[in-house]
A and B are shown apart, each in its own frame.
Chain A
């Protein structure tokens, strides 16, 4: 079965600074990888996804993520954060062999300071 680890529980970053959120997955074959964002009191919104092809994927709100098979990682990045990026970020993995069920990481809380 697949699993996801987000090593950072909480990250604080200054507005305008860069942000990188780590995600490591465990799965034997190529997984389907996702990053979701959850603003306070809201549901989850998809930022980006990776299935195959170019390992650097662009998403909404200026986010990008890079799939590195050798490191089993799918880290999320943003060059310059805005105060509105303060939220909970979830990495998720799905696999055809597991009926495409999504397994979510525990999430990383991002706080943006002025």
Chain B
């Protein structure tokens, strides 16, 4: 069974489009995260939700909007896609909001390419 799953695995789209990436975890964790990994493999946290509540919101354009319908799901919606949004997006989860103290489990990533 996949612990943290993301769909789609690959996403190719045109500039200006709106797209969503979905994430689901079956670990029973309370906290979920979105990370962006750029072309140089640098990983940076974007958002974190604990029990459907936003707890970390880094400096991210407001074109990016996370949504957590329940604590097992954290989706990422991106409006008006730009070339610079091309990256690999990772979803992760941890047992609670002390994510720095508990292991974060990562999904396989979604490679977004904006043309």
Main secondary structure of the interface of B (DSSP, over half): loop
Q: Assign chain A's interface to a size class.
A: 20 to 34
- The answer to whether the Cβ of B103 comes within 8 Å of any Cβ in the partner chain is yes
Question: Given that A43-B4, A94-B101, A101-B99 are known contacts, is A106 also in contact with B42, CB under 8 Å in the complex?
Answer: yes
A41 to B101, CA, bound (A): 26
Residues of the A chain whose Cβ atoms lie less than 8 Å from the Cβ of B98: 96, 100
Residues of the B chain whose Cβ atoms lie less than 8 Å from the Cβ of A94: 99-101
B40–A43 CB distance below 8 A: no
A51 to B103, CA, bound (A): 11
Contact for A104 among B43, B101, B105, CB less than 8 A: B43
Chain A proximity of B44: nearest CB distance (Å)? 7
- The answer to whether the Cβ of B66 comes within 8 Å of any Cβ in the partner chain is no
Contact for A99 among B41, B56, B103, B106, CB less than 8 A: B56
Q: Assign chain B's interface to a size class.
A: 20 to 34
Q: Mark A31-62, 1 if CB is under 8 A from B, else 0.
A: 01010101001111110010100000000000
Q: List 24 A-B contacts (CB under 8 A).
A: A38-B41, A41-B108, A42-B109, A43-B4, A43-B90, A44-B92, A44-B104, A44-B106, A45-B106, A49-B103, A88-B41, A90-B43, A94-B99, A94-B101, A95-B100, A96-B100, A99-B97, A99-B100, A100-B97, A101-B48, A101-B56, A102-B45, A104-B43, A107-B43
A-contacting residues of B (Cβ < 8 Å)? 4, 40-45, 48, 55-56, 90, 92, 97-101, 103-109
